[in-house]
């Protein structure tokens, strides 16, 4: 089974360096162009299903892919971004200043830590593991699936599928509109592509 993991395109909050989490921020102009580029890049793929999170930025991105792959979109809330609670809407740099203790525990990938009023990595792990279990039980080993999600869930997919140490969670870079791919068999798990932006051409901010 091949999983194509897509992070949504750029939003204004991504551009400004703000935490988004469960806040429903739409794609900006660059993000819309990136979503279109993703659709073109995946035209040759034949996914069984295109899944995406409930959040608008993911759905807008998935919609461009669905047009070229000619598949419907299945929305699954388990693919939603982590809820960052009181950090949502705030700039990343200011979080380290205002919440030094919570921020240190969070970026040490402590599974039980959480932003004030937010969701823990353990909670994210449970829902991503649940999604993977359902996928493996209902689809053939030769099927391809596109998952349009967010940085947090995509990192968790990679940690769980590749069985790597959870402490590396935040060291995995997942950029807007990037493509990562993994291939799963009964006895092997392969990382085919990680955080590729080759398809974006000029629609990428440095």
In which residue are the tokens 């990679």 written?
158
| 38-43-45-47 Cα dihedral, nearest 10 degrees | 80
Distance CA 98, CA 152 (A): 22
Continuous segment of H or E residues that includes residue 8:
none
Catalytic residue among 145, 150, 183, 199: 150
8 noted as active-site residue: yes
Residue 165, classified by CB atoms within 10 Å of its CB into exposed (0-12), middle (13-18) or buried (19+), is: exposed
Q: Rounded CA gap, 128 and 193, in Å?
A: 20
Q: Distance (Å, rounded) from C-alpha 192 to C-alpha 34?
A: 21
Secondary structure letter of residue 139 according to DSSP:
S
Q: Which of 8, 36, 96, 199 is catalytic?
A: 8
Which residues does the annotation mark as catalytic? 8, 150
């Amino acid at each position: 089974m091949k999983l194509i993991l897509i992070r949504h395109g750029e939003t204004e909050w991504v551009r400004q360096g703000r935490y988004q989490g469960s806040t429903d921020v739409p794609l900006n102009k660059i993000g819309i162009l990136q979503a279109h580029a993703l659709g073109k890049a995946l035209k040759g793929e034949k996914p069984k299903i295109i899944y995406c999170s409930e959040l608008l930025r993911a759905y807008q991105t998935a919609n461009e892919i669905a047009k070229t792959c000619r598949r419907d979109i299945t929305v699954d809330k388990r693919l939603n971004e982590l809820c960052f609670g009181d950090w949502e809407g705030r700039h990343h740099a200011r979080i380290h200043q205002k919440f030094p203790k919570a921020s240190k525990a969070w970026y040490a990938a402590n599974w039980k830590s959480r932003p004030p009023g937010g969701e823990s990595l353990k909670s994210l792990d449970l829902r991503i593991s649940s999604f993977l279990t359902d996928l493996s039980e209902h689809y053939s080993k030769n099927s391809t699936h596109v998952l349009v999600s967010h940085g947090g869930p995509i990192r968790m997919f990679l940690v769980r599928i590749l069985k790597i140490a959870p402490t590396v969670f935040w060291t995995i870079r997942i950029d807007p509109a990037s493509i990562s791919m993994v291939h799963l068999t009964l006895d092997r798990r392969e990382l085919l592509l990680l955080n590729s932006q080759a398809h974006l051409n000029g629609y990428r901010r440095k």
